[in-house]
Amino acid sequence: MKYSKTLIATAFVLSALAACKKDFLEEKRDLGGVNEQVFQDSTLAQAYVDYIYGMFLPAGNAQSLAWNLATNNNQFTQTTEELPGETNWNKLWPAVSYLNAHALPYFGVPLASGVNNNTWTRMKQINLFFDQVDQYSLPLYTRNKLKGQLYFWRAWQYFDLIRLYGGVPLVLHAQDPIVGAGENLQIPRSASSACIDQISADLDSAMAMLPGKWPSGADWGRITSGAAAAMKGRVLLTWASPQFNRNNDKARWKKSYDANLAAKLLLEANGFGLYKTGNLPDGTAWENMFLAEANNPEAVLVFGFNNVISDQVQKWNGWENAARPKEIFGDGSLSPTKQMLDAFPMKDGKMPGQSSYTYEAKKFYKNRDPRFYKTFAYNGSMWPFKENSKYRLWTYRWFANASAATPASTTEQRGTNSSGVYIRKATTGNASNAVGNFKTSGTDFIELRFAEVILNLAESAIGMDNIGEGLDYVKTIRERAGVENLDGAYGLSGIAGADPAFAAVLNERKIELAYEGKRFWDLRRWLLFNNDNGTCARLGVPPLNGTRRTGIFIYVKNTDGTKYTGANNQDPLYTPQHGGSGKVLADREPAAFPPGINNQDEYVDYLYDNYFEVTEKDDLDPTKNDWKFTWYNQYYFFGLNQTILNNAPYLEQTKDWDGFTGPGSFDPLK
């Protein structure tokens, strides 16, 4: 976005005004009183709420799509098949222990000498507002719209904790360690069910207090009643999923269905829906959805960024820079896996082998779901930017010599990414490498899209055994994406039974919501990292445990089929007049095409047929000690780490985790 958001600018107003007291993890000391002016002046009260927004949103230069609040980076995305790399939750450990780094520290830490942005300080700030605001003279309408936004964020914070740990302490008022010293501050973990009830109640309050749509464009990004309803649908879908619902309680699926249907209807009544402008069959409208800002009907909950240069309000989105290749001065740090490429169906919605279209491993990009081309950038594909509207990505390699085991010579002289393919999703053709090398991106991130609401509703319907209804919702997602309808069902014909239907919804989520920070949570809530709970077998989904994420090598061969060899500056498909040197087999972007070829896209196919070979690249994950993705069942509900137990020893440790006094006793399934 070109201009600073109201939420970004006003967040700075309150940083010195909101002094907070302590929560149940703090050391017992006073950190100051309440600034009453905040609750007497509408502008200051709004600034307080905006400050809370800022505590929950990605920081400037965050890789937005892969970012999450719990780790403040992309490690959860790397703990899926979306991105490779070692994290604390996909590697081998001698033992699962609260002493190790895989005991996620997000649950909380005691406050230091000042107020930091962490789990319980966020909660403290929110509860302090609730405790104080009704004691002063702000108009009721003003109070309600401010409270409604904070009810949403309290629910958001609790849900983020619940899906990671199961039940946590329910703290609904700001605690004063002077008045409530000692055991009164020792709040135990509440049952997961009680936490879900509280989250639902907070979201109901938010829905009742907030407008369906804010009247001013300056309020772009504020929580609406529809966002609260959609969030409630996400919460209750998680509660109905196998992670929490091991006995498949149909009543939970019914609550999830009702909540998601209500969210859909409420959002539609206020102008939200699938982004369909132009409804172009090649996926252009789908791609544009990520770039549209004010009045984007798809954006149920959006996190704002800007491209302002000044220090005070600068909040750039780091995604564009991370996605773009180093060859054009991006960071090139995002490496999508071959496993994700393979997950996308053909353009008739069916997987290779079942499709009307023939799949060729060499030309893996041919005849794919339109979203494939807007999610990935691959060797030979167009990926324009501001300074080059006709930029075509070339990522092929060749062998330095005949005895080389891997093709090390490359077109990318400034450095390659890991996988041989790039993520294109949510990048823009207007991005500039002239100012900050793509860093000054203001593209907003849609944290909760209307498409997710539809998919949440689809899954909930299937959970109630309304399989046809659920699949009809998936068809609307595919229709919008431009998938062909050759079988009358957008590629979904022949699905019979709840488990195949669930599998279809989860794979649709994997495609539609790829790299939007949703896959880790889907794998956890369906227990799909391994087959210990039988869900992988039920759904026909291969488990990640014991696998390696891979990429691709695209290397050049001679006309006789042998490997082309040469140094980095001897590109065989880049003619001397274009700056290349050495033996030239063919010009990758010729002035004239061979007979029978009419355009550059057809010529790319010609190059793949005649000069390229495609092989699997297996060095994305660590190569030492026969590394394999290793998942432990304890990660389905994390344990409390050593710091937490040191400062709050009265808290029960999570079941199946060890603690100071022995095995954990808290059951997150209750």
H/E/C letters for each residue in 78-135?
A: HCCCCCCCCCCCCCCCCCCCCCCCCCCHHHCCCCCCCCCCCHHHHHHHHHHHHHHHCC
Angle subtended by helix axes 225-240 and 450-463, to nearest 10: 40
Domain that holds residue 369: 336-441+549-620
User: Region 589-614: what's the mean pLDDT?
Assistant: 96
* Max Cα distance, the chain (Å): 87
Q: Tell me the pLDDT band of 582, cut-offs 50, 70 and 90.
A: low
| Six token digits for residue 13 | 């107003």
Residue-wise pLDDT for 35-56, tens only, equals: 788 888 999 999 999 999 999 9
Residue 133 has pLDDT above 60, yes or no: yes
Cα–Cα distance between 473 and 475 in angstroms, integer? 5
Q: What is the dihedral of CA 143, 149, 152, 154, to 10 degrees?
A: -70
With beta carbons less than 8 A apart as the criterion, state whether 492 and 474 touch: yes
Residue 508 has pLDDT above 80, yes or no: yes
What phi and psi, each to the nearest 5 degrees, are found at residue 81? -85, 0
Q: Quick check: is 301 in a domain? A: no
Q: What percent of the chain has pLDDT over 70?
A: 91
What phi and psi, each to the nearest 5 degrees, are found at residue 34? -95, 140
Angle subtended by helix axes 140-165 and 42-56, to nearest 10: 20
Q: Quick check: is 409 in a domain? A: yes
**What is the per-residue pLDDT for 310?**
81
Q: Quick check: is 566 in a domain? A: yes
Q: Quick check: is 482 in a domain? A: no
Q: Quick check: is 417 in a domain? A: yes
pTM: 0.93
**What is the per-residue pLDDT for 13?**
41
Residue 10 has pLDDT above 90, yes or no: no
Sole residue written with tokens 């979904």? 492
Residue-wise pLDDT for 185-199, tens only, equals: 789 999 999 999 999
**What is the per-residue pLDDT for 35?**
75
User: Region 621-637: what's the mean pLDDT?
Assistant: 96
Cα–Cα distance between 443 and 428 in angstroms, integer? 8
Cα–Cα distance between 317 and 477 in angstroms, integer? 27
Q: Is the dihedral of CA 136, 138, 143, 146 positive or negative?
A: negative
What phi and psi, each to the nearest 5 degrees, are found at residue 563? -65, 135
What's the one-letter identity of residue 266? Answer: L
| Six token digits for residue 503 | 């599998």
- Average model confidence (pLDDT) across the chain: 90
**What is the per-residue pLDDT for 185?**
77
Residues pairing with 616 in the sheet: 552
Q: How many domains does the chain have?
A: 1
**What is the per-residue pLDDT for 291?**
92
Residue-wise pLDDT for 325-377, tens only, equals: 999 999 999 999 999 999 999 999 999 999 999 999 999 999 999 999 999 99
| Six token digits for residue 271 | 């102008």
**What is the per-residue pLDDT for 116?**
78
Cα–Cα distance between 158 and 177 in angstroms, integer? 22
**What is the per-residue pLDDT for 258?**
98
